């Protein structure tokens, strides 16, 4: 099979011919139909923090079909369509059995979506409902990150919400904040590139983060936001959110930032701000997202701007490190 392999920081992904993987006991072989490129993949290959091992095949946002099953797999069969969870655990501890493998002490990446095939623990596969195409299923994982964050944030129905960042996670957060009962939603980003997409997801107002932004934010909401969903992942954004949120409000940090952040505790204390961080999605949340898309709520597909081949991946992957017109880029490894 062909796959895109990470070799080292500073070198583009390499397209390699590799032997087709073989599923072991409890595993399935998946034929990848599409796999999205995630900001996390870019972070884990730029040397700014945690880094993938050499030889690693990234890609954790795939829609795939089961083409072979290993020994002892009873709930999946050849032909089933699934989304693999980005991590798999031991399968036996309370966290794994409760559907939150992210918190298993034997956490392992279950990635490899930038290849034609991958092996996955069967228990990490979320079967897809009828009516959802495998191409569209590639956005289930980023949408699940948004759902997880909005649900952990404890969104109050009617709440005035600010979403910072209009990349895929910000857009996913808007979509779920709207569906889960937010009042007014303002989306703010460095450029207006994603304004239209944010409105499609359910935002009321889109603002550029320029000097007048704090004033225009209060105009748009009538007061300071009670919930801020920080989805930009840029340095300084947690402190900025603490400044912008209203007293006793909540800042939910979904953006992945590997840089140190300076925060004046007294500023947060004087407002009694709650700051939360989230990343570990649950299997049950994947099912909610897949069911929502399958029911025809396809607005989130607006985040997909491009579908590329494996051959185009290394160059596109490097280009995504700087801001551009693309939002969610999917890889079709059979193109
Ligand atoms: Zn992702
Ligand atoms: Zn476990």
Same domain for 252 and 265, yes or no, is yes
The bound ligand whose nearest atom lies closest to the alpha carbon of 58 is 1
Answer whether residue 149 is part of any domain. Answer: no
Distance from the alpha carbon of residue 95 to the mean position of ligand 2, in angstroms = 6
Distance from the alpha carbon of residue 90 to the mean position of ligand 2, in angstroms = 4
Question: Among residues of the chain, what percentage have pLDDT more than 70?
Answer: 100
The residues with which 31 forms a beta bridge, in sequence order, are 65, 117
The bound ligand whose nearest atom lies closest to the alpha carbon of 83 is 1
Distance from the alpha carbon of residue 216 to the mean position of ligand 1, in angstroms = 31
Same domain for 304 and 176, yes or no, is no
- Greatest C-alpha distance within the chain: 61
Contact predicate 38/142, CB 8 Å: yes
Answer whether residue 147 is part of any domain. Answer: no
Q: How many domains does the chain have?
A: 2
Residue 1 makes CB contacts below 8 A (sequence gap 6+) with 17, 18, 19, 20, 21, 115, 116, 117
Question: How much is the average pLDDT of 258-279?
Answer: 94
291-312 burial by CB neighbour count: b if 16+ within 10 A, else e? ebbbeeeebbebbbeebbebeb
> How far apart, in whole angstroms, are the C-alpha atoms of residue 234 and residue 171?
16
Question: How much is the average pLDDT of 173-188?
Answer: 98
pTM, whole model, 2 decimals? 0.96
Distance from the alpha carbon of residue 142 to the mean position of ligand 1, in angstroms = 5
Task: Output the six-digit token pair for 313.
Answer: 């991946």
Answer whether residue 42 is part of any domain. Answer: yes
Task: Output the six-digit token pair for 40.
Answer: 């996390």
pLDDT value at 256 more than 90: no
The bound ligand whose nearest atom lies closest to the alpha carbon of 59 is 1
Distance from the alpha carbon of residue 256 to the mean position of ligand 1, in angstroms = 10
Per-residue pLDDT tens digits for 41-51? 999 999 988 99
The bound ligand whose nearest atom lies closest to the alpha carbon of 108 is 2
Distance from the alpha carbon of residue 163 to the mean position of ligand 2, in angstroms = 33
CATH of the domain at 165: 3.40.50.720
Same domain for 95 and 48, yes or no, is yes
The bound ligand whose nearest atom lies closest to the alpha carbon of 95 is 2
Q: What are phi and psi of 210, to 5 degrees?
A: -105, -165
Distance from the alpha carbon of residue 279 to the mean position of ligand 2, in angstroms = 17
Distance from the alpha carbon of residue 99 to the mean position of ligand 2, in angstroms = 9
The bound ligand whose nearest atom lies closest to the alpha carbon of 113 is 1
Give pLDDT, residue 150: 98
Domain that holds residue 105: 2-141+282-332
Per-residue pLDDT tens digits for 226-253? 999 999 999 999 999 999 999 999 999 9
Per-residue pLDDT tens digits for 96-112? 999 999 999 998 999 99
């Amino acid at each position: 099979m062909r796959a895109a392999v990470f070799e080292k920081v500073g070198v583009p992904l390499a397209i390699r011919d590799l032997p087709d993987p073989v599923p072991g006991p409890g595993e399935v072989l998946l034929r990848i139909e599409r796999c999205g490129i995630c900001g996390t993949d870019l972070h884990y290959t730029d040397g700014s923090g945690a880094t993938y091992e050499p030889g690693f095949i990234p890609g954790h946002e795939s829609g795939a079909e089961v083409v072979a099953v290993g020994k002892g797999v009873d709930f999946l069969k050849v032909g089933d369509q699934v989304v693999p969870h980005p991590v798999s655990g031991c399968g036996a501890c309370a966290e794994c059995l409760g559907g939150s493998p992210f918190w298993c002490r034997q956490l392992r990446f279950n990635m490899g979506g930038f290849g034609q095939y991958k092996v996955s623990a069967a228990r990490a596969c979320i079967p897809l409902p009828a009516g959802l195409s495998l191409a569209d299923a590639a956005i289930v994982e980023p949408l699940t990150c948004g759902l997880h964050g909005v649900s952990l944030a404890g969104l109050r129905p009617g709440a005035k919400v600010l979403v910072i960042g209009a990349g895929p996670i910000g857009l996913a957060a808007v979509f779920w904040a709207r569906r889960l009962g937010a009042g007014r939603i303002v989306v703010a980003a460095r450029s207006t590139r994603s304004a239209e997409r944010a409105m499609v997801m359910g935002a009321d107002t889109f603002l550029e983060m320029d000097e007048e932004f704090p004033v225009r934010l209060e105009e748009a909401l009538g007061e300071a936001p009670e919930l801020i969903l920080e989805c930009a992942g840029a340095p300084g954004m947690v402190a900025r959110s603490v400044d912008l949120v209203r007293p006793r409000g909540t800042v939910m940090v979904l953006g992945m930032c590997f840089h140190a952040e300076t925060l004046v505790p007294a500023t947060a204390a004087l407002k009694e701000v709650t700051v939360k961080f989230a990343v570990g999605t649950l299997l049950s949340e994947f099912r909610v997202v897949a069911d929502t898309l399958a029911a025809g709520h396809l607005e989130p597909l607006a985040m997909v701007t491009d579908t590329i081949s494996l051959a185009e991946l290394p160059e596109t992957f490097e280009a995504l490190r700087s801001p551009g017109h693309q939002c969610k880029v999917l890889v079709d490894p059979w193109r």
